């Protein structure tokens, strides 16, 4: 079962992922992203690995000060570190009935062809998948959203308090 959470930026997709992590009782693997804030201002994004893995536990996905050749808005995207941490964490997942978290399938992450390949493999696996996905116009994202094996849930300010429990109930039925 593949559950995709979508919303406008700032509604709370990552906060939702963290709440589901506290409520879910089974094994969870994957990654989530977190804002890097300095003096009350968002300066970039960290990537944090979930689960028992020998990979690095966190790294910088993007930052204002990162000059890299890939830019998304004002952020330089650190594809090398993303692949070394986030993609590697996903590549090592076996078909063991784990809940796989992918936060997020979005503009920054889609600059990695390795990430797209791994996402497709995971969505085709028998594992439960909970992923956040951007509301951007992108061929890869549109293909994922059009899959018959995905459930798309729209997160809003109005439903975000009840959404963690709703997802847990869906996951319990999917096991």
Q: Which residue ranges make up each domain of the chain? A: 2-174
* Average pLDDT score over residue span 113-119: 96
Report which of residues 140 and 137 the model is more confident about. 140
Rounded distance between C-alpha atoms, residue 97 and residue 45, angstroms: 29
* Average pLDDT score over residue span 69-82: 94
DSSP strand pairing (58-63 vs 41-50): antiparallel
The helix/strand/coil state of 29 is strand
- How many Cβ atoms from other residues are within 10 Å of residue 167's Cβ? 21
- CA-wise closest residue to 174 among 154, 152, 156, 151: 151
The helix/strand/coil state of 56 is coil
DSSP code at position 142: H
**According to the model, what pLDDT value does residue 93 have?**
76
Cross-strand partners of 63: 44, 76
* Residue with tokens 């497709």, as numbered in its chain: 120
pLDDT band at 30 (very low <50, low <70, confident <90, very high): very high
pLDDT band at 43 (very low <50, low <70, confident <90, very high): very high
Cross-strand partners of 15: none
Is 2-174 assigned to CATH 3.40.50.300? Answer: yes
Instruction: Give me the chain's average pLDDT, please.
Output: 91
**According to the model, what pLDDT value does residue 53 have?**
55
pLDDT in tens, 142-164: 999 999 999 999 999 999 999 99
pLDDT band at 172 (very low <50, low <70, confident <90, very high): confident
């Amino acid at each position: 079962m593949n559950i995709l959470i979508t919303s406008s930026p700032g509604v709370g997709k990552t906060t939702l992922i963290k709440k589901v992590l506290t409520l879910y009782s089974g094994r969870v693997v994957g990654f989530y992203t977190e804002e890097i804030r300095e003096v009350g201002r968002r300066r970039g994004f960290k990537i944090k690995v979930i689960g028992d893995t020998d990979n690095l536990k966190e790294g910088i996905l993007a930052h204002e000060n990162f000059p890299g050749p890939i830019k998304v808005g004002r952020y330089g995207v650190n594809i090398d570190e993303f692949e070394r941490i986030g993609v590697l964490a996903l590549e090592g997942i076996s078909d063991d009935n784990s809940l796989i978290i992918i936060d997020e399938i979005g503009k920054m992450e889609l600059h990695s062809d390795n990430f797209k390949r791994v996402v497709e493999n995971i969505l085709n696996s028998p594992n439960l998948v909970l992923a956040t996905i951007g509301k951007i116009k992108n061929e890869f994202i549109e293909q994922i959203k059009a899959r018959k094996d995905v459930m798309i849930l729209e997160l809003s300010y109005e439903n975000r308090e009840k959404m963690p429990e709703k997802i847990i109930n869906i996951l319990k039925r999917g096991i």
